[in-house]
């Protein structure tokens, strides 16, 4: 019998975190939950701790941590953001699932890589803002993507030579507003934007999917994960979300990854790789699948995708500025404090007001992030 993989699930109360625990609970002999962390969802974290019996949990919110400490005698409870990050470096942890949302995940990514643990990366924002500062810390095979498109690309690249890659085709569902005009988008509200046609995810990424900023973040994520030039990354709208992404090689051959539209598959692969485990999901049945559609994205209507390509090409701190403004604008849209198209306006204006600098340090990225948030917040007033 092999020893189980010992994992820390950071962001365990969110969409990816809960699905990670669901995968782990199916393989108790293969996966051991050593640590759990969240921001402030204390009731759910307590429930998860009682079920999965981690050695240690942490909550970024200190009041929530105090409540967890009294509810979980016998479990070590950390309090504050540093306690959350410290879980990534525990000696008893082999693999860290970074399922935090937003640039808040940067420290977890950095700490995990420095500690030499395998990083199952859902938190794409940390790679977008940290860019080469993050990739320079990772040894080959240390960073395993959880994002479905990047997991698909990672799998298509297994056994291939990087020099033979001609293009990466990133598939996009198109979100709930595919085919709509800008006049229609002026009037949409958060409830409509949260109704994603194919994926059930946390609120921030669901809004990013509606604006296509999510695909923009994923373009930058793919650039850093696979070392692919922006000219070699193409986005294609594929409303069925059955093809999770594709890689085209120098001879014109294309490998595609297909599967159920369920994040538990890429999460499970991040834990099982290079092997595969069973999954209780219906496989693709090509006899009943029907047609698969592909169309170009509408860059004019969904400007966030063009803005992200541009920020990626500019490089340096531009993606961090863009990401910070986007986080502020998405939070405001979810609260009804701005309109849907204000998201791209706030992101674009914030990028105009801050000049990008070459990346130097994590501290610099944090300062840039804070400055961009201040500008974006000012634009909301
Ligand atoms: P959710 O909003 O559902 O969950 C976010 C999790 O992070 C929660 O557990 C939250 O805790 C925790 N968290 C947030 N901030 C902090 C902090 N400062 N310290 C500690 N914990 C924190 O997000 P998702 O699960 O949807 O997304 C997570 C990441 O995965 C994102 O980067 C997203 O882009 C990416 N992703 C998600 C997919 C999906 O299907 N959901 C698909 C592909 C990528 P609390 O509950 O206490 O607030
Ligand atoms: Mg994705």
Residues of the chain with CATH 3.40.50.720: 5-146
Q: Which CATH superfamily is domain 5-146 in?
A: NAD(P)-binding Rossmann-like Domain (3.40.50.720)
Q: Give CA–CA dist 314/299, Å, rounded.
A: 18
Q: Give CA–CA dist 310/127, Å, rounded.
A: 16
CB-CB contact of 239 with 178 (8 Å): yes
Containing H/E element for 339? Answer: none
Q: What percent of the chain has pLDDT over 70?
A: 100
CB-CB contact of 357 with 317 (8 Å): yes
Q: How many CA atoms lie less than 13 Å away from 243 in the CB half-sphere?
A: 21
**39 CA distance to ligand 2 centroid (A)?**
22
- The pLDDT tens digits of the residues spanning 104-115 come to 999 999 999 999
Q: What's the rounded mean pLDDT across residues 230-259?
A: 97
CA angle 150, 156, 161 (to 5 degrees): 110
Q: Which atom of ligand 1 is nearest to the CA of 205?
A: 34
Q: Give CA–CA dist 102/105, Å, rounded.
A: 6
Q: What's the rounded mean pLDDT across residues 63-77?
A: 97
**For the CA of 327, the nearest ligand:** 1
Residue 198 scores a pLDDT above 90: no
Q: For ligand 1, is residue 38 a contact (CB within 6 Å)?
A: yes
**309 CA distance to ligand 1 centroid (A)?**
24
**288 CA distance to ligand 1 centroid (A)?**
34
2 — pLDDT class (breaks 50, 70, 90): confident
Residue 1 scores a pLDDT above 70: no
- For tokens 């090409």, what's the residue? 313
Q: How many CA atoms lie less than 13 Å away from 76 in the CB half-sphere?
A: 10
Containing H/E element for 192? Answer: helix 190-193
Q: What are the structure tokens assigned to 336, written together?
A: 């009804």
Residue closest via CA to ligand 1's atom 36 equals 122
- The pLDDT tens digits of the residues spanning 345-365 come to 999 999 999 999 999 999 999
317 — pLDDT class (breaks 50, 70, 90): very high
């Amino acid at each position: 019998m092999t020893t189980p993989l010992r994992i820390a699930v950071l962001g365990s109360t969110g969409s990816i975190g809960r699905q990670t625990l669901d995968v782990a609970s199916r393989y108790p002999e293969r996966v051991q939950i050593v640590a759990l962390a969240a921001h402030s969802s204390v009731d759910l974290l307590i429930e998860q701790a009682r079920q999965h019996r981690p050695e240690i949990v942490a909550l970024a919110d200190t009041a929530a941590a105090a409540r967890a400490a009294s509810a979980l005698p016998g479990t070590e409870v950390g309090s504050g953001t540093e306690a959350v990050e410290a879980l990534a470096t525990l000696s008893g942890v082999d693999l860290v699932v970074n399922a935090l949302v937003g640039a808040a995940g940067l420290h977890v990514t950095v700490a995990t890589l420095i500690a030499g643990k395998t990083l199952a990366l859902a938190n794409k924002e940390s790679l977008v803002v940290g860019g080469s500062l993050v990739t320079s810390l990772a040894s080959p095979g240390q960073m395993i993507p959880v994002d479905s498109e990047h997991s698909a690309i990672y799998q298509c690249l297994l056994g291939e030579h990087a020099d033979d890659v001609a293009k990466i085709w990133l598939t996009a569902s198109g979100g709930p507003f595919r085919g709509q005009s800008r006049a229609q988008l002026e009037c949409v509200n958060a409830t409509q934007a949260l109704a994603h046609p194919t994926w059930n995810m946390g609120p921030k990424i669901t809004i990013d999917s509606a604006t296509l900023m999510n695909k923009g973040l994923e373009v930058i994520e793919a650039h850093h994960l696979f070392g692919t030039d922006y000219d070699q990354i193409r986005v294609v709208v594929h409303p069925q979300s059955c093809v999770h992404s594709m890689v085209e090689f120098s001879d014109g051959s294309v490998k595609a990854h297909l599967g159920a539209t369920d994040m538990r598959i890429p999460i499970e692969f991040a834990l099982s790789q290079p092997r595969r485990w069973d999954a209780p999901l219906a496989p693709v049945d090509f006899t009943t699948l029907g047609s698969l559609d592909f169309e170009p994205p509408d860059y004019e209507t969904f400007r966030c995708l063009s803005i992200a390509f541009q920020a990626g090409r500019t490089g340096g701190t531009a993606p961090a500025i863009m990401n910070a403004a986007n986080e502020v604008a998405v939070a405001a849209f979810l609260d009804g404090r701005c309109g849907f198209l204000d998201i791209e306006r706030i992101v674009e204006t914030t990028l105009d007001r801050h000049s990008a600098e070459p990346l130097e340090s994590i501290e610099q990225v944090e300062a840039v992030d804070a400055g961009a948030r201040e500008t974006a917040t000012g634009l909301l007033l």
